[in-house]
Amino acid sequence: MVAADFGRWAQNEPAGQYVLAQEQAFYDQHTEDIFGYYAVQIGLPERWLLRQSRIAHRLCVAPYGAVDVYAQSTRLPLDCQSMDLVVLPHGLEATPHPHQVLSEIHRVLVPDGKLLLTGFNPASLWGGPAQLPHVGLPARQHMVGWLRVKDWLAFLGFEVVAWQFMVYVPPCRQEGALQRWRALEKLGPRLWPKLGAVYGLHLVKRTPGVHPLKMAWQHHAGQQTAPAPIKDEALLDKPNRQVNK
């Protein structure tokens, strides 16, 4: 799956818009209480997923679209240990090298930095053997199961803080059909909690033996100048980025 293809699907198709609305709620909930100096969204420039983040310096990196930095997720032009928060919407499905993407994220995150990611669940109706080609979903072979992702990230030293499944309606192309199945959004988490079409993971980077000092904003807000981990700091100062609703 090409990243731009997923972006167009998520932005223009009713099924994509439905999925993206629920993912936006996930990112809104988990980003608003994460603090730090710098945050980056990798991919999906069609939707600003950091809109609720309180981090002042926020940027979007992608190989296309209206972004702050044009780059591939496998080679991020960011300094080591420079980011407090990384969000990765479906970034493992948009590359033939998902391990490299995760390694790059591990490299740029500070110790105890946070990673939020979403992906399609291949065990769901949206990704199973009966996947409907006319819905416009990414191909099943590009989907990476949540348990596999957790294993990869555990190997890198990430710890799961929270996880969530969402989108329990069957795959439908028409908005009306999606709405008719909305009752399943309440039943799904109780009856088949891990069969939602999309999973979301909230993780923290753990570095054994490293105990980072508490940042200045935790004690003396505004009294210490933030470090400049990226050489062109103008790229980072995007607190008023346009929000897509």
- Return the domain boundaries, the chain: 3-209
Strand partners, 57: 38
Burial class from Cβ neighbours inside 10 Å (0-12, 13-18, 19+) for residue 168 reads buried
Instruction: Report CA Rg, the chain.
Output: 18
CB 10 within 8 A of CB 170: no
In eight-state DSSP terms, residue 203 is E
Confidence of residue 225 (pLDDT cuts 50, 70, 90): very low
pLDDT at site 127: 81
**Residue 172 clears pLDDT 90, i.e. is over it:** no
Using alpha carbons, select from 85, 75, 98, 89 the residue that is nearest to residue 46. Answer: 89
Protein fold of 3-209: Rossmann fold (3.40.50)
pLDDT at 52: 97
Task: Take residue 141 and report the two structure tokens written for it.
Answer: 């072979």
- Measured between alpha carbons, how far is 197 from 166 in angstroms, rounded to an integer? 6
Residue 196: is it exposed, middle or buried by C-beta count within 10 angstroms (0-12/13-18/19+)?
Answer: buried
More confident residue, 217 or 42: 42
Mean pLDDT of the chain: 84
pLDDT in the model for residue 94: 83
Higher pLDDT, 8 or 43: 43
Q: Which alpha helices (DSSP H) does the chain contain, by range? A: 3-12, 14-31, 98-108, 146-156, 175-180, 184-191
Query: Is pTM beyond 0.85 here?
Result: no
Buried/exposed code over 124-163 (b: 16+ C-beta within 10 A; e: otherwise): bbbbeeebeeebbbbeeebbbebeebbebbeebebeeeee
* Alpha carbon distance 183, 181 (integer Å): 6
Gap between the Cα atoms of 219 and 240, Å rounded: 26
